[in-house]
Amino acid sequence: MKIRTVIVEDEPLARERLRMLLERDAEIAVVAECGDGRSAVIEIKKHKPDLVFLDIQLPERNGFEVLSDLGTESLPAIVFVTAYDQFAVKAFDVHAIDYLLKPFDAERFQQALYRAKEQIERKGAMHQSESIRELIGSLRSEPAGPKRISIKSSGKLIFIRIDEIDYVEAADNYVKVQTGGHVHIVRDTLGAFEARLPADDFVRISRSCIVNVDRIKELRALEYGEYEIVLLDGSQMRLTRGYRKNLERLRNSAG
């Protein structure tokens, strides 16, 4: 019986490459391909695959949110596909979760596939489920956090320093990441992107905007309990009433 496999990757070229590599193996049957987290949950529940190649950075819902929706008690074998920096890679190694770090070559892919097959043969998915829970916890609780994050913008994978981000703003199905004089357009939700940022350094000021607190220069009181925020580069944005609970943090950072 063939190993039923689902590919979850939002970049069409990367998804095609994974499919081509998998199709070389006579034991593999690719039963579905997905380009976003929401579709991934639907297709995995529908097909109940033995194996999933799961990108972490996805629109709609990221890879960890996909696993949360599925429930980690009875997962298929998972090989994460990631562009995380070395901080996160160490966490994958510690918890014995296999991953493909972009960009990867055919040899590294074959190693990951071989390990996935071994796990499926010994019916180790339940053990991996516990390891995945521990991995997600470690990535969310690590106090130091990664110094860089990767974003997919204009068909390229770009690495940016977190402390260089001025603010992040929602724009329909995308987010705009402002770093100095550069704007990167990323296909993601603001909530998913916010989850990747250190909570001590970034604050939500409205439904559509997150600000780096170290970039705040001034707070100006407006009517109806709202405030105008002025950044070091002169950018101006508004803290809305619904986010006044974050005002104390903004006052501390501005003063």
* Average pLDDT for 5-9: 95
Same domain, 161 and 95: no
Residue 132 CA to residue 204 CA, distance in Å, equals 28
| Domain stops at, among 141, 173, 189 | 141
Same domain, 98 and 160: no
Q: Which CATH number belongs to the domain containing residue 109 in this structure?
A: 3.40.50.2300
**Is 185 within the bounds of a domain?**
yes
CA angle 29, 35, 37 (to 5 degrees): 105
For residue 71, the model assigns a pLDDT of 75
Pair 160, 179: CB distance under 8 Å: yes
Same domain, 159 and 243: yes
**Is 173 within the bounds of a domain?**
yes
**Is 112 within the bounds of a domain?**
yes
Who's near 123: CB < 8 A, 6+ residues apart?
A: none
| Domain stops at, among 90, 108, 141 | 141
Least confident range from 54-58, 135-139, 199-203: namely 135-139
* Average pLDDT for 26-30: 95
**Is 135 within the bounds of a domain?**
yes
User: pLDDT at residue 199 above 90?
Assistant: no
| Domain stops at, among 89, 106, 141 | 141
Alpha-carbon separation of residue 70 from 10, 22, 62, 149, 234 (angstroms): 19, 24, 13, 26, 44
For residue 24, the model assigns a pLDDT of 94
**Is 245 within the bounds of a domain?**
yes
Same domain, 157 and 136: no
For residue 21, the model assigns a pLDDT of 95
Amino acid identity of residue 114, one-letter, is: Y
Same domain, 157 and 127: no
Could you tell me the two tokens for 187? 């296909």
Give the model confidence (pLDDT) of 44-100 as tens digits.
999 999 999 998 878 777 887 888 788 766 678 888 887 765 545 655 665 556 788
Same domain, 196 and 227: yes
Same domain, 44 and 132: yes
For residue 87, the model assigns a pLDDT of 47
pTM for the model stands at 0.58
**Is 147 within the bounds of a domain?**
no
Packing angle between helix 63-70 and helix 125-141, nearest 10 degrees? 130
Residue 8 CA to residue 43 CA, distance in Å, equals 10
Pair 57, 83: CB distance under 8 Å: yes
**Is 27 within the bounds of a domain?**
yes
Domain that holds residue 103: 3-141
Same domain, 55 and 177: no
Between these two residues, 172 and 164, which has the higher pLDDT value?
164
What is the number of domains present in the chain?
2
For residue 143, the model assigns a pLDDT of 45
Pair 206, 212: CB distance under 8 Å: no
Same domain, 122 and 181: no
* Average pLDDT for 17-42: 94
Strands 3-8, 28-34: pairing kind: parallel
Name the average pLDDT for the chain: 82
**Is 203 within the bounds of a domain?**
yes
Packing angle between helix 106-121 and helix 125-141, nearest 10 degrees? 120
Same domain, 80 and 173: no
Q: Which CATH number belongs to the domain containing residue 216 in this structure?
A: 2.40.50.1020
Could you tell me the two tokens for 229? 């925020």
Same domain, 96 and 53: yes
For residue 135, the model assigns a pLDDT of 66
Same domain, 14 and 131: yes
